[in-house]
Structures are given as C-alpha cells and as structure tokens.
Amino acid sequence: MARKSRKANRRHPLATVVLIAIGLVVTGGGYALLSSTTTATADTNASSQETIDEGKKLFAANCATCHGMSLEGTDDGPSLIGVGAAAVNFQVGTGRMPMAMQGPQAMQKPPQFTDEQTAAMAAYVASISPGPAIPDEKYLQADGDATNGGELFRINCAMCHNVAGAGGALTEGKFAPELKGVLPTHIFEAMLTGPQNMPVFNDDNLTPEDKRDIITYLKYIENNPSPGGFELGSLGPVAEGLFVWIFGLGAVIALMVWLTAKSN
Ligand code: HEC
Ligand code: HEC
C-alpha cells in the first residue's frame, strides 16, 4: 500500500529537465533585461556642430601626428576609434595627453587644455565613432555607500592600487598610480575606459551605482586617513608585524638591559 502511493507521487522523468530549462530561461531573460537597463552611461553627450568643429581643429593641431587625421592611429599612437568622449576627457584632463615622450606609460603632466577645449576634442572623437560617454554628474557626488565601495575596491582594484589606494608597481616599468586627489570624473572614466594596463570595468561589470560607491569609498579614505594611528604605508600585516618586532621587542630588550645593568 505504502509502496504504491510512493510510486504515484513520483515525478515524470522529464519534469526535472523541464524545470531546469524554465529556470535558465527566467534567470537569463531577467539578467538580459537588468543589464540592458544599467547602461546609463551610453553615448548620450550630444554636442553642437560648432563644438565638434572646434575639437577637430584642436585635434589636428595637437594629436593627429600620433593618432592620425581620422583617428586611425600611427606607429606613435593607437587608433582612437570607439574610445569615446570618456577616454579623451580622462587622458587630456589628467594631463597624460598629449604625450610628451615615448615611455612605458604616459606620464601625468599639468593639463594643457582648458575644460572647454578638452570637451571639444572629446565631442569630436565621439562624433567620429561612438564610445563610452562622459559620466553623469549624479554618480560623481561621493554620496554613495562607502562600505559597498570598499568591498568592491578590495575585490577589483586593490591588487594593483593597494587597499588604501596608495598605488603600486607593475611589470616592465609600469605602475598603478596613487588614487588620492583624483577627481571623481576621472576615477569613473578610468574604470570605464581602462587606460593602459588597467582592465575596463564596463557598466555590466560594475554598474554606475557600484562605480559611485567606489568613488565614495576613495573620497572617504582620502578625508579620513587611518583612524587607527600610523598607516605604516598601509602595507598590511607584514609592515605592522615588523613594527611590533622592531619597536615592541626592542623596547622589551632595552628594558631588560636597563634592569640588569641597574642590579649590578
Ligand atoms: C607623441 C604621441 C602622442 C600625442 C601627441 C598624443 N597621443 Fe594620445 N596616446 C599616445 C600613446 C602612445 C597612447 C597609448 C599609451 C598609453 O596610454 O600610455 C595614447 C593614448 C591615448 C588615448 C587612450 C586610448 C585608449 O585606448 O583608451 C587617448 C584617448 C588619447 N591618447 C588621446 C589623445 C589626444 C586627445 C591627444 C591630443 C590632445 C593625444 N592623445 C596626443 C600617443 C600620443
Ligand atoms: C591590473 C592592474 C589594475 C587594476 C586591477 C586597476 N587598475 Fe586602475 N590603473 C592601473 C594603471 C596601470 C593605471 C595607469 C594608467 C596610465 O597611466 O595610463 C591606472 C590608473 C587609474 C586611475 C587614474 C589615476 C590618476 O592619477 O589619474 C584611476 C582613478 C584608477 N586607475 C582607478 C581604478 C579603480 C577604481 C579600479 C578598480 C575598479 C582599478 N583602477 C583597477 C592599473 C590597474
């Protein structure tokens, strides 16, 4: 009797397969829907023809020798087709471009163009072929969730830039710079465009809100340096252990020497 009812309850062998198929379709479809709504930084920086013409002139005079008259690239610089306004704003705004001399990495110099000139060149490059746009102001206020930002930073950025954003060396003379004092726009654009050896973190990878949280975290540690006392280079347990060994143990030894010297 008991055996019979168990048999009646048994599912059709295909039921599991159908269930898994439905699950896959639902999660896949849901993910596609979600990810298509997170592309808030798509190319929407509409610019007037006047600005684009101005940018074209500036580009021809300052950039085309290395990047080509139609952004096609030369032996001295990569093609800029599809890099977008964000890459131009980042590279020119941080003073990396125009590049002064060839080296392992474009050095930062004081920016050589005004904000208007930079914007014009960005508009020109974006007008030739669309790419990541300059981020929306609402993500640049450093008013997000610093805790989430800190976690994302430790997962995605700390291996190159150090947990406290202090920077670090990479191979072949390249380095990940210190992140203190970098404008929120440039932090966002660095993630969006992945300059040089840095990976690209597009909006599916880290949503604009995630990027805002990372900016919030970086601005938080910039304004609240090391609540626990000395930073010791923020290198972590090794530096801290060394500090304890040298100064802590040193003090104990000094005390012992002093005590034994006194008793004689
Ligand atoms: C002397 C040559 C030279 C000049 C002049 C120059 N660049 Fe570059 N540019 C390079 C090189 C080389 C790279 C790639 C190396 C790097 O990023 O460190 C680069 C990278 C870039 C990138 C990043 C491309 C990417 O894939 O993200 C942008 C954007 C850019 N340049 C814009 C400009 C603009 C705008 C100007 C003019 C104001 C300019 N460059 C002038 C040589 C040059
Ligand atoms: C594989 C190593 C690597 C990882 C991972 C990485 N970066 Fe970078 N980052 C670099 C390098 C290299 C540069 C310098 C590029 C250049 O000068 O052209 C850079 C530059 C930057 C800059 C520009 C700094 C300035 O002074 O202008 C910012 C901001 C930045 N990174 C933020 C981040 C954030 C935020 C993350 C994590 C989401 C991250 N990076 C992950 C290697 C990395």
Per-residue pLDDT of the chain (264 residues; tens, 9 = 90+): 445 555 556 777 777 777 777 777 777 666 655 554 444 444 445 678 999 999 999 999 999 999 999 999 999 999 999 999 999 999 999 999 998 877 778 888 889 999 999 999 999 999 998 899 999 999 999 999 999 999 999 999 999 998 888 888 888 778 899 999 999 999 999 999 999 889 999 999 999 999 999 999 999 998 886 656 566 666 666 777 777 888 888 899 999 998 888 766
Mutate to test the pocket of ligand 2, among 160, 202, 203, 221 (most ligand atoms within 8 A of CB): 160
CA 82 to chain centre: 19
Instruction: Determine the distance separating the centroid of ligand 2 and the alpha carbon of 79, expressed in angstroms.
Output: 21
b/e 79-95 (16+ beta carbons within 10 angstroms → b):
ebbebbbbbbbbbbbbb
Protein residue whose Cα sits closest to atom 10 of ligand 1: 77
The finding on whether 76 has its CB within 6 A of some atom of ligand 1 is yes
Ligand 2 interacting residues, C-beta cut-off 6 A: 94, 96, 105-106, 156-157, 159-161, 170, 174, 176-177, 179, 182, 186-187, 190-191, 195-199, 201, 214
Closest CA to ligand 1's atom 37 = 63
Q: Which residue minimizes the CA distance to atom 19 of ligand 1?
A: 77
- Closest CA relative to residue 161, chosen from 177, 182, 150, 185: 177
Burial label, 172 (beta-carbon count in 10 A; 0-12, 13-18, 19+) = exposed
Residue 193 CA to ligand 1 centre (angstroms): 13
Q: Starting from the CA of residue 201, give the closest ligand.
A: 2
Ligand nearest to C-alpha 103 = 1
CA of 212 to the centre of ligand 1 (A): 26
